[in-house]
Structure 1
Amino acid sequence: MLIDNDVNQGDLKVIIAKVLRYWYLYPICVLMFTGMGIVYQKYSQPVYSVGAKIVVHQQERGTIDPTRFFSGYELFSGRTNFENSLITLQSRPLLEKVFEKLDFNVAYFRQELFYEREIFNNVPFQVVLDKNTPQLTNTKFSLKILNSKEYQLELEEAEGEIYDFSKQSIIESVTGLTISKKYRFGDVVESENYKFVVLLKEGIDVKKSMKHDFNFEVKSNQQLARDYYGRLSLTPTSREASAINVTMVTYNIRKGMAFLDAYLKTVIEDNLDNKNHIAQSTVAYIDQQLTEVYDSLDLAERSLQQFQSKEQVLDVNMKASQIYESIRQIEIERSAKESQIQYLQFLNNSFSSGDEDTEYSLTTVSDLGNQVLNDLLNEYISLTARKRQLIENNQGKSPRIKDLDFQIRNLRNTILVNLEYAYDAANNELSRINRRMSSLNAQLNTLPETQRNLVGYERNFRLHDATYIYLMEKRAEAQIAKIANLPDYEVFDYPSFAGIQSPKRMRILMFTIFLGLMIPTIFILIYETFFERFNDVDDFQLEFNLPVMGQIFKVPGNKKQLFEDKDLIIYQESFRKLRSNIDFFNWKHDKGRVLLVTSTIPGEGKSFCSYNLTSAFAALGKKTLLLDFDLRKGGLSFDFFNDKERGHGMTEVMSKQKELKDVIRTSDNELSFDYITCGAFPPNPSELIENENTEKLLEDLREQYDFIIIDSAPVSLTSEGSVLSKFSDMVLYVLRMKHTMKKDFKNGINELKVEDHKTSVVLNNIKVNRQKYYYGNYYSKK
């Protein structure tokens, strides 16, 4: 017979029933894990979060463009790209600039019960480093305040890095450093690896500080930048807004807010310095040019004055003036065009060489007179700047680098084509200007020599004068742009406490409750699946759909023969009910009904049920025969009939050593039923039972008895039960409560291989409830 209870076990009712059976485990586990969570929350190191908001100003359509009012503004009208800001604002070079403004090179800690707490302002002492001497970093010194004058400094088998603050580099790594020495506050603590002074702060409670153990650790700005890089987070506030949430994880709120405040100031100052750098460079360049132009202008002015004084001529006639003015205008135009050609040639050489450092030259102010080319150059600057930022942030292997390289390469080719076109156009324009200049010079040559010379001197003077005025105007524009320049970032929300990062009370509470519910559930399901025994009738019926033919109560003491003791009437009654249920079975024969009694493993009460069920039928007047077919052990024969001869039983009949009539015996009690013991233990019990003599024997016995009850070996150990079930009308499978394993029962019942209608279960060792006990006791006294 095959049964499959997997579907039933997966049913929600089965799971709920299993869980509710062990309900007491849930409050125990929930209370236990909740208590552990409370202890963890109380004694674990708290981690806090501080945050701020900054706005990134971007150039938007529809806004007023300051270049409409001041020509100097075009130098700085571009706004920072929002996506680039998320990268550049978290760069390590920027963080190092922040720590240059902060005194964070020494971190202080106070030892708590289960962790060390970082302290900031309320430190009772101060460590002053000698930064001209290499210092031991990345290791913690232990400090114990002994009194107001002395302290104990310890370092045990420590390892760290020797850092030179003057050169900003690591010298070497060291290990095995040990210190255990008393020092006075203010004394120099010095060795080849460190040099510092520990000062006791004024106004502190020394006695209170003596109760604590302190640690301090030295770190360089580079080491601090690496540490804070992973603790700093920048995220957009929303998709539509150009604002950034700046949050940082810290072990000390005040220290975190101090860092964030310095960080925001550094971001704004650094951005403004970068933007002012162009204006400063432009002003410096113009000042240099003004010096040179001023000397040329002074020389031209003195030459003009000397010529006028010598020749006694102060002015030229109207025609000469017109020619001179035209030449002057063309000279200015030719000078600008030549500068443009030189710059185009420079750009063409730079882009042809493939040098990406060209972007630094492109920041120079130059009017190319080609808006398309100007746009392409601005886009090239943006792409190369973005690539450099990724490399500076250690993202050189990022897939975005490959995308940027592809875009830069295509853009470079496009720029080269436009540069070639612009260069040809500029040369053509310069040729046209030179032809006009030649024509005007020819007209000038027709004038008298004195007039021509005067025009030359005046032209040279006015050319330098115009250049000087132009440079002065550009210098003023650059100064205006520098003064009116604003940073791309603005603090929208100043640093403030943003909450506890961990441990989070509600999260821990929910997690501990989850563990308190999940762990016992997992335990119950595993235990039920692999180790659980049957507990009661409901437990069996919930998981298996086999019919229960009877329920046998647990008998006190070691009493086995129930019908021979009148005080056990309630226990006899359980077998009478079993007998009645068997009578209602749909029998194929009116006489000679064969019942096979078996179990999964020894010790489940199989022989006990066989003997007392036989007694119950005999008490009803039925002619009953009990067969001990457990030829391997013969527990029924020895425990109930005290058969020690071992020579007159089933083995001898099956092997035809004796006749059937010679081995049938009658019980010596008043019930008077027949039985056959197992006999001698054969070497081959399976072959003996599978012989055709077994079926013939049972057919002969059917003619002589009303009921034939067979006590067979357990099905999980031998195959005799499966063989005998073929010759039986009913199979009673005995299951002992709190003893039989569920998985063993399932395997055993499947190994039996009997039709469903023939198999029924007898539940043995059921605890008697109080009501049934009183009823039984009452009737037994009557």
Structure 2
Amino acid sequence: MAQNINNVDNSDLRQFVLLITKNYKLFVVCVIIALVVGFLANSYMVPKYKIASSMLIKEENNKAGGNVTDFLNSSLFGANKNFQNELWVLKSAPVIKQTISNLDLTTVYCQKRGLQYFEVYGKVPFRVLRLQNHIQPVNVRFQISILDNEYFRIKTKGRDVSFVDINSSELAYRKEKWEFEYYGKFGKLIETDDLSFVVELDAFAENSTDQTDNYYFSFTDTQTLAEGLRGQLTFRVVDKMATVIEIVYKSPSVAKGKDIVNELMNVYSQQNLERKNHSAGITINYIEQQLNEISDSLSYTEDKLQRFRSSNQLLNVSEQATGITVQYMDLQNRLAELEANKRYYDYVDDYLSKNEDISNMIVPASMGIPDQMLNNLMSELMSAQAQRSNLIQNNQELNPLVQKLTIQIENIKKTISENISALRKTTDISVDEMNKRIRKVEAAISRLPATQRQLGGIERSYRLNDAIYNYLLEKRAEAKITLASNIPDNIIIEPAKMVGTDPVSPNVQLNFLIALFLGLALPFGFVIFKSATNDKIETQETIERLTPAPVLGKIAHNHRRHVSLVFDYPNSTLAESFRTLRTNIEYQFRNESRKVILVTSCLAGEGKSFTSLNLAMSYALLGRRTLLVDYDLRKAGAYFKDHEEIKVGLCDWYSNGTSSKSIIGHSPYKNLDYIKSGMIPSNPTELLALDKTQLLFDHLKTVYDCIILDTSPLALVSDTYQLMDYADIKIVIVRYNFSIKNVFAMIMKDLKQKGIPNVGIVMNDNRVYGEQYGYGYGYNHQKSPLDTIKRKGSQYMKAVLGKHIK
């Protein structure tokens, strides 16, 4: 059992090797083409360099408290600010678009070297300044020729050109064909309906020696450029336990790559600082508004107090009045604080009901309201609002998180409103209590003299306004201190720098390996697919699976395009294959001294006539009298075209009573005679069924040692079946990569069902020289394809890959 398995494995391996060696030319060609493509890719791809930097992002976990400075020092996200949120902000479209705007990357400058256009960043002797809010042609390359220090010429043309507002990325219209050419001075506005820009000559380029060089420039809209840049930027978390990220960008220009990465980090830092300063800024604006309202009341009461004292010539009140007044003012101060809080609650309630964007709302801590729950709710609301705005800003409206955040925002607003309502009621109770205490003090004051009472009333009003004014001044000072002390929540650890000294793209070794892999994989896949879908007979194993009939021989491929090879080229591999076939026939049927060999095939074109002729020649070389009979009565042919053949044939003998001797012709070769088919009859099957056929064979067997019958194809006509009983051996010719499996299987099954004995198979047109065992011994035979592959492959790999693969 194990031996059978090994035989199957060896057979499969052998078939696989034969399949590869048979198509070795395809593999060699594909590998060469793939390596050439790899070489061209390495030669013409624009090299890119790796630019990298690292940045630390601080993560805030502190809850917002009652201290205004603590709150304003936190980020916009408050208690929920985390590393992942900030990383998303860093990769967001607004940050990248601002980077593009700051560096003016929408205008690209390049030079042509060979067949490639190489970007020239910061090294061009001119600058193109676009007119804002005017459409421009995008992705069209303008060629500019600097004629001298004053004049230049530009020209361009393109198909399906888009005209876009660069800043908004809005498409205005398209033109199927567009051309533009301009000759003019530097610094002059170039404006048409399709474009508008100014070309300025840099001062350093006035004495440049390469002003005759041709440069190119093109415009790209901000949105397209941002999407491309975002895809090229890589943000990698250095460590799971750290909040440090590495920013990597691959660019053909090292200087441009450094500027982009550095500017990206600067824009993020600036926007982060602006978000932090936002809360302090709106708090200061709110306090300024309140101060403006209080200052008028304070000025009025101050003037009134001064006039009353002057008119009544009062400098001081009694100690009793002073004590009562101090107590009264303390109560008024506490009442002022409660009134301020109440006004803030009204402000929050009104703001939440009228505004969807709460980013400009004043937080409780900034007004000195020490309510931990309210501060936490406000922080959560601002965090959810910021995350939702960030997602929408990055075109994530359909993200399920947006809907979730919307629901969360509404719930928090409702909770804050309920909390504000409860605080307002509590404050109202405190205000009523405070008013009761104030009325008691006022009753005590009423018992003072009238002048003192009037003075006390004016002073109380003045001190109340003064207390509120001082309170607001203190809060404004705290907010300004926080605003001045704010710093970004990120630290640039390493500025952008080039990693390594060589470009990271193209990868020469990897490209060659990929090319080599594809050069082998593609033809291999093609060969396997072709073999799986091929309905032609390719190997001897295929024949053995379709029929039990023995394979008597394999005829090599006739590359000489010559018919009579056995006589004309006796030392060739092809002649040797016919001698081997003759030997196998003799060994298989050695009991037959005089043989009649029938040669047929399934279809026309499989080489039965060629095989019949050369097999007959091989028997003639043994000194045996051999006769080749063309029994294909439906197709007249000639075996010896350079030899004058006889005019009559089999059909004449069957139809006209011509003698058998008159239809036998002598070939130009010793011991070999032949009989032609003659004229084409209308009823060949009926002729072969006549008793005359038996008489003819009885006569020919007495004269010849070997008779070769060249008959009609079995799958097309039934003529050959009439001759089966007269033949000792029946040979079916199968041609490599030509004979159809289904047709061959049907014919062999039919022969078996009819009980026709002594059937053998001959495989014609064998191109796999490794299967011609022993052929060419002592002769100048062809070299094995495996030897050719090894020799040529080794030379090519040394020549082509030697300088690229170390």
Q: Fold-level match, TM-score > 0.5? A: yes
- Quote the Cα distance in structure 1 between the aligned partners of 2:208 and 2:582: 91
Residues 505 and 726 (structure 1), Cα distance of their counterparts in 2 relative to 1, 3 Å cut = farther
Q: Show structure 1 runs of 5+ residues with no match.
A: 1-6, 776-782
Question: Corresponding residue for 2:520?
Answer: 517
Aligned partner of residue 744 in structure 2, secondary structure: helix
Deviations 1:149-188 (A, max 9, x none): 46540324576759799x999998888553354x56x574
- How many Å separate the matches in 1 of 2:610 and 2:82? 90
Q: Report the residue type matching 1:404 in the other structure.
A: V
- Secondary structure, counterpart of 2:713 in structure 1: coil
Q: Which residue of 1 aligns with 2:800?
A: none
- Residue 517 of structure 1 deviates from its aligned partner by 2.8
Residue of structure 2 equivalent to 1:360: 360
Contact 1:110 1:215 in 2 (8 A): yes
Paired residue for 1:778? none
Structure 2 residue runs of 5 or longer lacking an equivalent are: 1-7, 767-771, 782-806
- Give the whole-Å Cα distance in 1 for the aligned partners of 2:93 and 2:179: 30
> Paired residue for 2:39?
38
Q: Which residue of 2 aligns with 1:434?
A: 432
Letter in 2 for 1:630: D
What corresponds to 2:731 in structure 1? 732
1: CA distance, partners of 2:351 / 2:728 = 107
Contact 1:380 1:408 in 2 (8 A): no
Measured at CA, do residues 329 and 688 of structure 1 come closer, stay the same or move farther in structure 2, by a change above 3 Å? farther
Q: Which residue of the partner structure matches residue 119 of structure 1?
A: 120
Distance in 1 (CA, whole Å) between partners of 2:559 and 2:219 is 78
5 Å-filtered alignment, 1:17-416, equals 17-21=18-22, 23=24, 29-60=30-61, 71-78=68-75, 80-99=81-100, 101-102=102-103, 107-123=108-124, 125-127=125-127, 129=129, 138=138, 139-146=140-147, 149=149, 151-157=151-157, 161=163, 176=178, 178-179=180-181, 181=183, 188=188, 190=190, 194=196, 196=198, 198-199=200-201, 201-202=203-204, 206-210=208-212, 212-217=213-218, 228=229, 231-237=232-238, 239-297=240-298, 299-300=300-301, 306=308, 310=314, 313-316=317-320, 320=324, 324=328, 327-328=331-332, 331-332=335-336, 334-336=338-340, 338-339=342-343, 341-343=345-347, 345-346=349-350, 349-350=353-354, 355-361=355-361, 363=363, 365=366, 371-393=372-394, 395-396=395-396, 398-400=397-399, 402-413=400-411, 415-416=413-414
- 1:240 to 1:10, Cα distance in 2 relative to 1, 3 A: farther
Q: CA deviation at 1:485?
A: 1.6
Give the counterpart letter for 1:507 in structure 2.
L
Q: Number of residues paired by the alignment?
A: 735
For residue 519 of structure 1, report the CA deviation from its aligned partner: 4.8
How far apart, CA to CA, are the structure 2 residues paired with 1:630 and 1:164? 82
Q: TM-score, normalised by structure 1?
A: 0.74
Answer with 267-276 or 22-31: which moved more. 22-31
Q: Aligned to 1:597, which of 596, 599, 603?
A: 599
From 505, 509, 513, give the equivalent of 1:506: 509
Kindly provide the CA deviation profile for residues 241-278 of structure 1, in whole angstroms up to 9, marking residues without a partner as x.
43333334434221232233233222212321232232
Residue 742 of structure 1: aligned partner: 737
Shift of 1:416: 1.6
Structure 1, residues 55-85: CA drift from partner, whole Å, max 9, x if none? 2211147xxx8969x6412123245443343
Contact 1:135 1:195 in 2 (8 A): no
Mean Cα deviation higher: 293-302 or 552-561: 552-561
Contact 1:552 1:763 in 2 (8 A): yes
Is the CA contact (8 Å cut-off) linking 1:67 and 1:77 kept in structure 2? no
Deviation for aligned residue 1:477: 2.1
**2:565 and 2:575 in contact (8 A); partners too:** no
Could you say if the C-alpha distance between residues 491 and 10 of structure 1 is closer, same or farther in structure 2, counting changes exceeding 3 Å? farther
**How far apart, CA to CA, are the structure 2 residues paired with 1:234 and 1:569?**
70
1:77 alignment partner, SS class:
coil
Match of 2:584 among 575, 581, 586: 581
Amino acid at match of 2:730: V
Q: Quote the offset at 1:366 in angstroms.
A: 5.3
Inter-partner Cα distance in structure 2 for 1:578 and 1:490: 88
Asked if the contact 2:572–2:776 (Cα under 8 Å) also holds between the matched residues in 1, the reply is no
Give the partner amino acid of 1:749.
Answer: F
C-alpha deviation, 1:494, in angstroms: 0.9
SS in 2 for 1:403: helix
1:331-371: CA deviations, max 9, x gaps? 24642552354245325634xxxx52244326574566654
Q: Is the CA contact (8 Å cut-off) linking 2:279 and 2:360 kept in structure 1?
A: no
TM score, norm. by length of structure 2 = 0.72
Query: How far is 1:638 from its partner?
Result: 9.5
SS in 1 for 2:401: helix
Question: Partners in 2 of 1:525 and 1:668 — Cα distance?
Answer: 50
Specify the SS of the correspondent of 2:201.
strand
Q: After alignment, is 639-648 or 404-413 more displaced?
A: 639-648
The equivalent of 2:798 in structure 1 is: none
Report the residue type matching 2:507 in the other structure. K
Structure 2 matches for 1:563-642, cutoff 5 A?
A: 578=581, 581-582=584-585, 584-585=587-588, 596-602=598-604, 605-607=607-609, 609-610=611-612, 629-633=631-635, 635=637
| Other-structure match for 1:780 | none
Match of 1:549 in 2: 552
Deviation at 1:434, TM superposition (A): 1.2
Distance 1:180 1:486 in 2: 50
CA distance in 2, matches of 1:327, 1:566: 132
When the two chains are superposed, the root-mean-square deviation of aligned CA atoms in Å is 5.6
- Where 1:450 maps in the other structure, the secondary structure is coil
Q: Which residue identity does 1:405 align to in structure 2?
A: Q
Given that 1:628 and 1:650 are in contact with CA atoms closer than 8 Å, whether structure 2 keeps it comes out as: no
The alpha-carbon deviation at position 749 of structure 1 amounts to 2.5
Letter in 2 for 1:266: V
Q: Which moved more, 1:339-348 or 1:273-282?
A: 339-348
Residue pair 2:551, 2:761 contacting (<8 A) in 1 also: yes
The verdict on how the C-alpha distance between 1:555 and 1:316 changes in structure 2, with shifts beyond 3 A counting, is closer
Cα distance between partner residues in 2 of 1:255 and 1:749: 70
2:760 aligns with: 760
Matched residue of 2:389: which SS?
helix
CA distance in 2 between partners of 1:461 and 1:507 (Å)? 85
C-alpha distance in 1, partners of 2:191/2:178? 14
Structure 1 residues 8 and 180, CA, compared in 2 at 3 Å: closer, same or farther? farther
Instruction: Say if 1:649 and 1:663, in contact at 8 Å, map to a contact too.
Output: no
Structure 2 counterpart of 1:771, one-letter code: Y
Please tell me whether the aligned partners of residues 629 and 707 of structure 2 are also in contact (alpha carbons under 8 angstroms): yes
Matched, 1:771 2:768: no
Report the alpha carbon displacement of residue 114 of structure 1 after superposing the two structures with TM: 0.7
CA distance in 1, matches of 2:512, 2:529: 26
Residues 439-496 of structure 1, C-alpha deviations (whole Å, 9 max, x = no match): 6625753665327666655544443343233223322322332233221222122112
What amino acid is aligned across from residue 127 of structure 1 in structure 2? R
For residues 11-37 of structure 1, what are the alpha-carbon distances to aligned partners after superposition, in whole Å with 9 as ceiling and x for unaligned?
Answer: 443233332355566566545543443
Q: Residue 24 and residue 342 in structure 1: after superposition, are their counterparts in 2 closer, same or farther (change >3 A)?
A: same
Cα contact 1:236–1:244 (8 A) shared by 2: yes
Larger CA deviation: 330-339 vs 305-314: 305-314
Q: How many Å separate the matches in 1 of 2:221 and 2:611?
A: 85
| Aligned counterparts of 1:103 and 1:555: Cα–Cα separation in 2 | 69
Change (3 A) 1:650 1:282: farther
After superposition, give the CA deviation of every residue in 1:599-648 in whole Å (9 maximum; x if it has no partner).
Answer: 35556553465467679889999999987542312558998995644565
For 1:746 and 1:726, locate their aligned partners in 2 and report how far apart those are by CA, in whole Å. 26
State the secondary structure of the residue aligned to 1:51.
strand
Moved more, 367-376 or 39-48: 367-376
Q: What secondary structure is seen at the aligned counterpart in 2 of 1:744?
A: coil
Note closer, same or farther for the CA distance 1:431–1:720 as it changes in structure 2 (3 Å cut).
farther
CA distance in 1, matches of 2:36, 2:517: 13
